[in-house]
Structure 1
Amino acid sequence: MKLLLLTEKASAAKNFATALGGLKGSFNHDSYQIVHAHGHLLQFKEPHQMVAQDKAAKYSDWYDLNNYPWNLLDFTWEKEVIPGMEPALANIKNAAQKCDAIVIATDDDPSGEGDLLGWEIINAIKWTKRVFRIRFADETPTNIKKALLQKVDVTNQYQQGEFLEATGRERFDFASMQLSRIALIIARQAGFQPKSLRLGRLKSTIVNQVYQQETARQNYVKKSYYEVRFRDANQNIFKQGQKAKFTTEADAKLELSKFHKAQIIIDTKVTKHQAPPDLLDLSHLAILVGKKGYASKEVLTTYQKMYEAGFLSYPRTEDTKITQEQFDQLLPLAKQIARVTHVDPKLLAHTTLRKKFLANNATHGANRPGLNVPRSLAEIEEKFGKCGRIIYEAVAKSFLAILAEDYLYDQEQAHLADYPKFTCTINLPRELNYKLIFNEHDLDDTNAQEVLPFGSSAQPFIYEGHNPKPKSPTHRFIIDFLKKDKIGTGATQEQTLANISTGKSALIKNTKEKYSLTFPGLVQSILCDQTYIASPKVTEQLQDTMKMVKQGKFDYRNVPFLINQIVKHDLAIEQKNATNLSKNPKLAKLQTAKKTTFTPKPKVTGTWRGKETAINQTWGKHTFNERELKHLFAGKSIAFILNKRKITGKLAKQTYQGHQFVGFKADFD
Structure 2
Amino acid sequence: MKVLCVAEKPSIARSISAILSGGQFTTRPSANKYIKNFDFNYPQTNSIYTVTSVSGHLTAHDFGDAYRTWNSCDPFVLFDVPIETKISTESKTIEKNLRNEARGADMLMIWTDCDREGEHIGSEIATVCQKAKHNIIVKRARFSAIIAQQIHNAAQHPVELDRAQANAVEARILLDLRIGAAFTRMQTLTLQGRFAQLNEKRDPVSYGPCQFPTLGFVVSRYNQVKSFVPETFWYIFLSLSRSTSSSSAPEETQFTWRRGHLFDFDVTLALYQHVLGDPLARVVKVVQKPTKKWKPLPLTTVELQKSGSRLLKLAPKKLLDVAEKLYQKGFLSYPRTETDQFDPQFDHMSLIRKQKIDPNWGAFATALEQANGFVGPRTGKNNDKAHPPIHPTAHIGNLEGDERRVYEFITRRYLACCSKDAEGWEKNVEVECGGERFSASLTILARNYLDVYIYDKWYGKVIPDFEEGEEFTPTVCELKEGETSSPSYLTEADLVTLMDKNGIGTDATIAQHIQTIVDREYVLERMEGATKYLVPSTLGIGLIEGYNQIGFEKSLSKPQLRRETERSMVQVCEGTKTKQDMLAQSIEQYKDMYIRARGEFNKVITVSSAFGRIDVMR
The TM-score bracket by the shorter chain reads: 0.7 to 0.9
Aligned equivalent of 2:85, options 76, 79, 83: 79
Report what 2:412 is aligned to: 397
Give the direction of change, closer, same or farther, for the CA distance of 1:419–1:30 in structure 2 (3 Å limit).
Answer: farther
Within-5 A mapping of 1:123-142: 123-124=127-128, 126-127=131-132, 128-129=134-135, 130-142=137-149
Report what 2:95 is aligned to: 89
- 1:97 Cα deviation from its structure 2 partner: 0.7
Give the direction of change, closer, same or farther, for the CA distance of 1:297–1:67 in structure 2 (3 Å limit).
Answer: closer
Report what 2:611 is aligned to: 584
Cα-to-partner distance string for 1:606-629 (whole Å, 9 max, x where unaligned):
xxxxxxxxxxxxxxxxxxxxxxxx
**Is 1:559 aligned to residue 575 of structure 2?**
no
- Matched letter for residue 572 of structure 1: R
Give the direction of change, closer, same or farther, for the CA distance of 1:520–1:34 in structure 2 (3 Å limit).
Answer: farther
How far, CA to CA, are the matches of 2:223 and 2:289 in structure 1?
Answer: 44
Give the direction of change, closer, same or farther, for the CA distance of 1:555–1:589 in structure 2 (3 Å limit).
Answer: closer
Within-5 A mapping of 1:222-233: 222-233=230-241
How far, CA to CA, are the matches of 2:105 and 2:615 in structure 1?
Answer: 63
Report what 1:380 is aligned to: 399
How far, CA to CA, are the matches of 1:185 and 1:61 in structure 2?
Answer: 12
Equivalent pair of 1:69/1:568 in contact (CA under 8 Å):
no
Equivalent pair of 2:287/2:428 in contact (CA under 8 Å):
yes
How far, CA to CA, are the matches of 1:429 and 1:64 in structure 2?
Answer: 72
- 1:321 Cα deviation from its structure 2 partner: 2.0
Report what 1:543 is aligned to: 566
Equivalent pair of 1:285/1:391 in contact (CA under 8 Å):
no
Q: Which consecutive residues of structure 2, in runs of 5 or more, have no partner in the other structure?
A: 26-37, 242-251, 466-471
**Is 1:47 aligned to residue 57 of structure 2?**
no
How far, CA to CA, are the matches of 2:593 and 2:160 in structure 1?
Answer: 43
Aligned equivalent of 2:327, options 307, 314, 333: 307
Equivalent pair of 2:412/2:452 in contact (CA under 8 Å):
yes
Equivalent pair of 1:411/1:428 in contact (CA under 8 Å):
yes
Report what 1:20 is aligned to: 20
Cα-to-partner distance string for 1:338-360 (whole Å, 9 max, x where unaligned):
54546534653542424526988
Moved more, 59-68 or 403-412: 59-68
SS at match of 2:509: helix
How far, CA to CA, are the matches of 1:344 and 1:494 in structure 2?
Answer: 33
Equivalent pair of 2:138/2:160 in contact (CA under 8 Å):
yes
**Is 1:145 aligned to residue 152 of structure 2?**
yes
- Matched letter for residue 63 of structure 2: P
Aligned equivalent of 2:107, options 87, 98, 101: 101
- 1:160 Cα deviation from its structure 2 partner: 2.2
TM-score (norm 2): 0.81
**Is 1:416 aligned to residue 431 of structure 2?**
yes
SS at match of 2:86: strand
How far, CA to CA, are the matches of 2:306 and 2:12 in structure 1?
Answer: 28
Equivalent pair of 2:307/2:493 in contact (CA under 8 Å):
no
Aligned equivalent of 2:281, options 252, 257, 263: 263
Within-5 A mapping of 1:583-622: 583-585=610-612, 590=616
- Matched letter for residue 286 of structure 2: D
How far, CA to CA, are the matches of 1:491 and 1:517 in structure 2?
Answer: 24
Give the direction of change, closer, same or farther, for the CA distance of 1:312–1:579 in structure 2 (3 Å limit).
Answer: same
- Matched letter for residue 9 of structure 2: K
Equivalent pair of 1:324/1:359 in contact (CA under 8 Å):
no
- 1:138 Cα deviation from its structure 2 partner: 1.3
How far, CA to CA, are the matches of 1:409 and 1:571 in structure 2?
Answer: 62
Moved more, 558-567 or 576-585: 558-567
- 1:427 Cα deviation from its structure 2 partner: 5.0
Give the direction of change, closer, same or farther, for the CA distance of 1:481–1:380 in structure 2 (3 Å limit).
Answer: same
SS at match of 2:6: strand
Would you say how many aligned residue pairs link Structure 1 and Structure 2? 558
Within-5 A mapping of 1:35-434: 35-44=52-61, 46-49=62-65, 56=66, 59-60=67-68, 62-63=70-71, 66-68=74-76, 70-72=78-80, 74-75=81-82, 77-109=83-115, 112-124=116-128, 126-127=131-132, 128-129=134-135, 130-154=137-161, 160-177=163-180, 178-191=182-195, 193=198, 195-233=203-241, 234=252, 236-241=254-259, 245-248=262-265, 252-260=268-276, 261-263=279-281, 265=283, 266-290=285-309, 291-328=311-348, 330-333=350-353, 335-336=355-356, 339-341=359-361, 344-345=364-365, 347-348=367-368, 349-354=372-377, 356=379, 362-370=385-393, 372-374=394-396, 376=397, 379-381=398-400, 386-419=401-434, 421-424=436-439, 426-434=441-449
Give the direction of change, closer, same or farther, for the CA distance of 1:589–1:552 in structure 2 (3 Å limit).
Answer: closer
Cα-to-partner distance string for 1:75-98 (whole Å, 9 max, x where unaligned):
1x4322222321111111101111
Cα-to-partner distance string for 1:7-51 (whole Å, 9 max, x where unaligned):
11100110111121132233312322111101112201x3134xx
How far, CA to CA, are the matches of 2:106 and 2:289 in structure 1?
Answer: 68
How far, CA to CA, are the matches of 2:378 and 2:301 in structure 1?
Answer: 22
Report what 1:650 is aligned to: none
Equivalent pair of 2:237/2:479 in contact (CA under 8 Å):
yes
Give the direction of change, closer, same or farther, for the CA distance of 1:425–1:38 in structure 2 (3 Å limit).
Answer: same
Cα-to-partner distance string for 1:385-412 (whole Å, 9 max, x where unaligned):
x111111111011011122222113222
Give the direction of change, closer, same or farther, for the CA distance of 1:373–1:419 in structure 2 (3 Å limit).
Answer: same
TM-score (norm 1): 0.76
Q: Which consecutive residues of structure 1, in runs of 5 or more, have no partner in the other structure?
A: 50-55, 443-447, 593-669
- 1:61 Cα deviation from its structure 2 partner: 5.5
Cα-to-partner distance string for 1:166-193 (whole Å, 9 max, x where unaligned):
1111111222222222332343344262
How far, CA to CA, are the matches of 1:589 and 1:82 in structure 2?
Answer: 34
How far, CA to CA, are the matches of 2:102 and 2:313 in structure 1?
Answer: 46
Equivalent pair of 2:10/2:55 in contact (CA under 8 Å):
yes
How far, CA to CA, are the matches of 2:96 and 2:73 in structure 1?
Answer: 41
- Matched letter for residue 185 of structure 1: L
Cα-to-partner distance string for 1:215-260 (whole Å, 9 max, x where unaligned):
11111111222233434454633213488x3434x66444422213
Equivalent pair of 1:326/1:365 in contact (CA under 8 Å):
no
SS at match of 2:495: helix
Give the direction of change, closer, same or farther, for the CA distance of 1:199–1:439 in structure 2 (3 Å limit).
Answer: farther
Within-5 A mapping of 1:584-663: 584-585=611-612, 590=616
Give the direction of change, closer, same or farther, for the CA distance of 1:380–1:216 in structure 2 (3 Å limit).
Answer: same
